[in-house]
C-alpha cells in the first residue's frame, strides 16, 4: 500500500486533499543492530493553497517494519525500490537514523543515493550540529517537534493504515528520554526534515516566507501582529533547558529561570510540560 492511496485522517476528521504537484515526501528509516527490526515511515508534506506555513499538514501514509536479521545491503535495496516509484520518485528526501549502527552502514545508502541525510540522535539538550550532509540532533528536539505537530492537529494518518495501532502506541509514549522508539524514531527524523528543521537557514527563510504570505493577505494586520508580537512567560520543566518552538526559534533557560516566548510557540511548549506564569 503506497502513500498515494492514503488520504484519510483518523476516524472522525475530514478527508485530506488528494495529491498535488506541491506535495513533497520524506522517508525516515531507523537502522538498528542486526537482530532488530527496521522501521520505515513515509511522510507527505501537504502545503496550504494560501502558502501559510502554519496550515501545512504532515500525513504519514506508509508504515513498514523490515524483519530482524535482514542484512543491511538488503535493507538498502528495499528502501531504494520504494523511493524509486510513484509518488516518491523525483520529490523525496531520505532520512536515516544511524545512531545505533554508525557511519559505515549509512555510507551504503549514500553509495546508492548520494543524498541520504544521516541523523545521529544525541541525549541531552545540546544544539543541532551539522557535519557535512549529516546532523547530530538532540532527542529532545525531535520529541518537541513531534509533540507540537500532534498538539496542533497537523500530524495526520489513517487508522486503516497497516500497523496504525502500533504507530499510535509509539506516539503516545513520546518522551525526550525514550530509548526504544519503534516507529517513533523513523517518524521523528522524517518529520524533523519535513517540518523544515535541519535545513541550513530554515528559521530565517521560514520567517520571511511567513512575512510574505501575511503581507499578501493583509499588510496592515501583519504589521500590527509583527511589530510587537504577543508574548507569554513560561517556566520550563527542570530537565529541559533548551527547546525549539513551532516558529523555529530555540529557547534556552538557566536553572530555575523563566523564558519569554511568542504566543505562536506557547501551546506546543505547554504540551511539553512548560508552566505558564502571569505576565
Q: What is the pLDDT of residues 210-233, one digit of tens each?
A: 444 444 444 344 444 445 567 888
Q: Looking at residues 162-166, what average pLDDT do you find? A: 84
What integer pLDDT is reported at residue 205 of this predicted model? 37
Task: Record the cell numbers describing residue 224, joined without a space.
Answer: 500590527
DSSP track, 67-108: PTT--HHHHHHHHHHHHTSTTTTTSEEEEEE-TTT-HHHHHH
- Domains of the chain are 3-194 (3.30.420.240), 200-226 (no CATH), 228-279 (no CATH)
Question: Judging by DSSP bridges, how do beta strands 231-235 and 275-277 pair with one another?
Answer: antiparallel
Indicate the average pLDDT of the chain.
Answer: 74
What pTM, to 2 d.p., does this model score? 0.66
Angle at CA 85, nearest 5°, toward 74 and 158?
95
Long-range CB contact pairs, 260-263, < 8 A, 24+: 260/231, 260/232, 260/233, 260/234, 261/231, 261/232, 261/233, 261/234, 262/229, 262/230, 262/231, 263/229, 263/230, 263/231, 263/232
Q: Looking at residues 66-79, what average pLDDT do you find? A: 91
What integer pLDDT is reported at residue 197 of this predicted model? 56
Amino acid at each position: 500500500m503506497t502513500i498515494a492511496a492514503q488520504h484519510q485522517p483518523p476516524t472522525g476528521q475530514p478527508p485530506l486533499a488528494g495529491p498535488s504537484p506541491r506535495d513533497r515526501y520524506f522517508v525516515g528509516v531507523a537502522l538498528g543492530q542486526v537482530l532488530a527490526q527496521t522501521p520505515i515511515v513515509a511522510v507527505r508534506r501537504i502545503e496550504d493553497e494560501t502558502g501559510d506555513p502554519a496550515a501545512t499538514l504532515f500525513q504519514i501514509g506508509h508504515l513498514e517494519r523490515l524483519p530482524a536479521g535482514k542484512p543491511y545491503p538488503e535493507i538498502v535495496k528495499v528502501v531504494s525500490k520504494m523511493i524509486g516509484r510513484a509518488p516518491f520518485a523525483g520529490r523525496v528526501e531520505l532520512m536515516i537514523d544511524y545512531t545505533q549502527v554508525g557511519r559505515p552502514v549509512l555510507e551504503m545508502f549514500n553509495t546508492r543515493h548520494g543524498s541520504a541525510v544521516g541523523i545521529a540522535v544525541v541525549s541531552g539538550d545540546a544544539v543541532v550540529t551539522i557535519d557535512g550532509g549529516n546532523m547530530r540532533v538532540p532527542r529532545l528536539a525531535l520529541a518537541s517537534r513531534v509533540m507540537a505537530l500532534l498538539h496542533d492537529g497537523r500530524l495526520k494518518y489513517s487508522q486503516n493504515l497497516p500497523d496504525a495501532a502500533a504507530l499510535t502506541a509509539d506516539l503516545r509514549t513520546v518522551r525526550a528520554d525514550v530509548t526504544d522508539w519503534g516507529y517513533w524514531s523513523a517518524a521523528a527524523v522524517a518529520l524533523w526534515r519535513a517540518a523544515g528543521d535541519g535545513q541550513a537557514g530554515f528559521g530565517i527563510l521560514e520567517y520571511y516566507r511567513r512575512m510574505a504570505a501575511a503581507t499578501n493577505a493583509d499588510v496592515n494586520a501583519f504589521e500590527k501582529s509583527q511589530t510587537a508580537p504577543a508574548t507569554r512567560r513560561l517556566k520550563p520543566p527542570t530537565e529541559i533547558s533548551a527547546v525549539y518552538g513551532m516558529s523555529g526559534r530555540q529557547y534556552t533557560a538557566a536553572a530555575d529561570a523563566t523564558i519569554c516566548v511568542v504566543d505562536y510557540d506557547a501551546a506546543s511548549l505547554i504540551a511539553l510540560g512548560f508552566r505558564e506564569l502571569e505576565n
